[in-house]
Structure 1
Amino acid sequence: MIAPDTLAPEVLRILPPLWLADEDDVLVCCQRRQETDDVVSFLFRPRNPALFRFTAGQFLTLELEIGGETINRCYTISSSPTRPDRLSITVKRTPGGIVSNWLHDNLQPGMSLRALGPAGEFCAGNHPAPKYLFLSGGSGITPLMSMARSAHDLAEPCDIVFVHSARTPRDIIFRGELALMTANLSGFRTAFVCERTDGEPAWAAPTGYLNLPLLELIAPDFAQREVFCCGPAPYMAAVRAVLAAGGFDMARYHEESFTFADMAEDSVVPADADAPAVGEGHAVEFAKSGITVHCAPGQSVLEAARAAGLRLPSSCTKGVCGTCKSQLVSGQVDMKHGGGIRQREIDKGMFLPCCSTPLTDLVLDR
């Protein structure tokens, strides 16, 4: 994509501005595409004429009102940054999933929603390499599809092996488009691994699960490639085990996951862990509940609350999703967020407890 700052002034005058969530966070759904039986892609445009700028592999945080409650969820952008007029996410219906089911059942062209971002560091562009190996499972294909679409649109020389695992051939997301990319790009190869062949008995590709012998057959030179992996947590754990068994240098392995529950549990500081000496740290008062907790030096507000037995809404614990967003009544914090809050919200005293450490005693409107 041509950077606007490289264009002549007369060209800039006719280009729409960039979409900035801090200035206008409303996106309008302009199309929905049924990719498989339980996967839908939603295409969006800005409410006002604007162009999207992001890096292939980044994500959006949707802010939805469902059942009278504000819910934040992160979804990878599946479209390519080479096509800045529209942006898409691709959503698999999850049994019992509040947001995925709401999107599938309710979101139609013409409807609008709010979004934060784009954000994220899971980007092949951040790790230049002569050869890549993309490994995806189920709906984890989306960030890798954005990268693949970008490579296809730019028509630059590439060496990418794209291996996707699915339940059945019918469940392969973007199957036709991946076939087109393989036909168009000499350096782009795809391989599919399905658990079973339901409904397609003539399926000639491997069945079962990805393992080391199969990976060596598909990509004999996998040890020389930069690996990007995305999918359900068990899938990514299996991939890591396969690569480790093959002697792969895991410094060149990159993965993305929005299974935030495990991340949140890993981040909790137990109440008796490294208990601070009296007088260290800061007090955090929750105005509505009347509870005050102690926050140790270097401990986030969310960690302190959990260590004291309080339950605050949260998901990512990394300053990405915006779920824990809270109003700061008084005090100052050091916040190192990952895009989960708008600057105008910060200006109004909002902050993210998950990635903020107190600089003074605090009072929260909770």
Structure 2
Amino acid sequence: MGLQENFETLDEAPSWKDDELLECVAVVPEAPNTATFSFRAPSGAWFKYQPGQFVTLELPVPGETVYRTYTISSSPSRPLSLSVTVKAQPDSIGTRWMLDHLRPGMRIKAMGPAGIFTLPNRPTGKYLFISAGSGVTPSLSMTKYLFDRGQDPDICFVNCAKRPSEIIARSDLEHMASRVPGIKLHFIVEEDDPFRTWSGYRGMLNQIVLGFIAQDYLEREVYCCGPDPFMQAVREMLIAMGFNMDNYNQESFGAPVENEADAPETDDVILEDDKEAVIEFTNSGVSHTCTQTDTVLAAAKAAGLNIPSGCTFGVCGTCKVKKTEGEVHMVHNGGISDEDVENGYILACCSNPIGKVAVEV
């Protein structure tokens, strides 16, 4: 029986509990190997949760029962249904089963909601949502919630995808942005779809792109979700740009966190201007003492040496030099290849020495 058959008004309906089954009511394709599954409570119960939280689904995969955690992509401002948007990876089992077999009318068990990656109780601030791939789901829920509040939100929404066709929930996002001036969308893709026009950003998210599309990033609360290497790169970018990391929040879609105690520690490198470093310029026979916050390029100039440079922002690659000893912290913007990094090369303009370092200059 549906809600109207059980209750006269929503106020009379109980909230959904995780000992109830969910009934699938809709399956909407979003992108290759990606779909949104919408559920209702057969009892007519309504869903109460915070935007950004997740549920755990019990999936009857043949031969075994598996449990998979998915961020809720719908908004608690629309409490009659609950949706998850899932993307199957090459090794997916549970998600693959959902895409191939879960259809409207089928019922599954779910647990939750849970999670601490959520908006403040009174979300009136300025937000910068940064995501990659299916990591878009929590910021999608948050954006829907802020949109439904009826107040003009201030959201800079950044989503990275392989191709334009793989941007998840693009039409939903564009619908909201077309009606609320405070929602600014920025999609970044690695490559075009064949025979289709793309006029947006291409390449990888870096400091230059982030500073261009969110010039007031220092004033915003950042919510980031995606693969761990992606989030690590975002953190390094923000730290290098002087962002107050107290205003940074993250959630890996691979391992959502239920409480603060379970939150993993980050291994970010925080450069300190009172920590001494020594750079040996081996070709010149010069040794220079500096601090961690000095770049190799700045230290070379202070030592009276010249390293050819151009952009000084890790883009052009002009200042590439060979590091033969020690460690540096390098946050570049695409000016050096992974192969060069593996072979010991660095960009002097955006590399900070950690301890003793030797470079061929």
SS in 1 for 2:204: coil
* Partner amino acid, structure 2, of 1:228: Y
Is 1:233 the counterpart of 2:228 in the alignment?
A: yes
Task: Look up the match of 1:354.
Answer: none
Task: Look up the match of 2:298.
Answer: none
Q: Deviations over 1:49-102 (max 9, x none)?
A: 110011110100112232332321110000011111110000101112111111
How has the CA–CA distance of structure 1 residues 127 and 154 changed in structure 2, closer, same or farther, with 3 Å as cutoff? closer
**Structure 1 runs of 4+ off > 3 angstroms?**
10-14, 126-129
Task: Look up the match of 1:27.
Answer: 22
Native 8 Å contact 1:163 1:193 kept in 2: yes
Native 8 Å contact 2:128 2:157 kept in 1: yes
Is 1:15 the counterpart of 2:9 in the alignment?
A: no
- Give the alignment of 1:39-188 within 5 angstroms: 39-126=34-121, 128=123, 130-188=125-183
* Partner amino acid, structure 2, of 1:16: A
Q: Deviations over 1:184-229 (max 9, x none)?
A: 1111101010001123553111101100000011000111100000
Task: Look up the match of 2:184.
Answer: 189
How has the CA–CA distance of structure 1 residues 170 and 258 changed in structure 2, closer, same or farther, with 3 Å as cutoff? closer
* Partner amino acid, structure 2, of 1:79: S
Native 8 Å contact 2:225 2:253 kept in 1: no
How has the CA–CA distance of structure 1 residues 100 and 130 changed in structure 2, closer, same or farther, with 3 Å as cutoff? same
Task: Look up the match of 1:4.
Answer: none
CA distance in structure 2 between the partners assigned to 1:175 and 1:148 by the alignment: 12
How has the CA–CA distance of structure 1 residues 13 and 143 changed in structure 2, closer, same or farther, with 3 Å as cutoff? closer
CA distance in structure 1 between the partners assigned to 2:140 and 2:51 by the alignment: 9
Q: Quote the sequence identity (%).
A: 43
SS in 1 for 2:202: coil
CA distance in structure 1 between the partners assigned to 2:173 and 2:34 by the alignment: 16
Structure 2: stretches of 5+ with no match in the other structure: 1-6, 266-361
SS in 2 for 1:125: coil
CA distance in structure 2 between the partners assigned to 1:11 and 1:94 by the alignment: 43
Q: Deviations over 1:142-175 (max 9, x none)?
A: 0110011111122212111000000011111111
* Partner amino acid, structure 1, of 2:72: I
CA distance in structure 1 between the partners assigned to 2:27 and 2:9 by the alignment: 31
Native 8 Å contact 2:134 2:253 kept in 1: no
Native 8 Å contact 1:169 1:200 kept in 2: no
* Partner amino acid, structure 1, of 2:39: F
Structure 1: stretches of 5+ with no match in the other structure: 1-9, 268-366
Native 8 Å contact 2:190 2:203 kept in 1: yes
* Partner amino acid, structure 1, of 2:29: Q
Task: Look up the match of 1:209.
Answer: 204
How has the CA–CA distance of structure 1 residues 47 and 235 changed in structure 2, closer, same or farther, with 3 Å as cutoff? same
* Partner amino acid, structure 1, of 2:49: F
* Partner amino acid, structure 2, of 1:17: P
* Partner amino acid, structure 2, of 1:107: L
User: TM-score scaled by structure 1?
Assistant: 0.66
CA distance in structure 2 between the partners assigned to 1:209 and 1:108 by the alignment: 36
Is 1:243 the counterpart of 2:238 in the alignment?
A: yes
- Give the alignment of 1:283-298 within 5 angstroms: none
SS in 2 for 1:143: helix
* Structure showing greater Rg: 2
CA distance in structure 1 between the partners assigned to 2:171 and 2:27 by the alignment: 17
* Partner amino acid, structure 2, of 1:20: K
CA distance in structure 1 between the partners assigned to 2:255 and 2:150 by the alignment: 35
Q: Deviations over 1:109-158 (max 9, x none)?
A: 11111000111111122584521000010000001100111111222121
* Partner amino acid, structure 2, of 1:158: P
CA distance in structure 2 between the partners assigned to 1:13 and 1:75 by the alignment: 26
- Give the alignment of 1:293-332 within 5 angstroms: none
Is 1:199 the counterpart of 2:194 in the alignment?
A: yes
Native 8 Å contact 2:48 2:76 kept in 1: yes
How has the CA–CA distance of structure 1 residues 65 and 202 changed in structure 2, closer, same or farther, with 3 Å as cutoff? closer
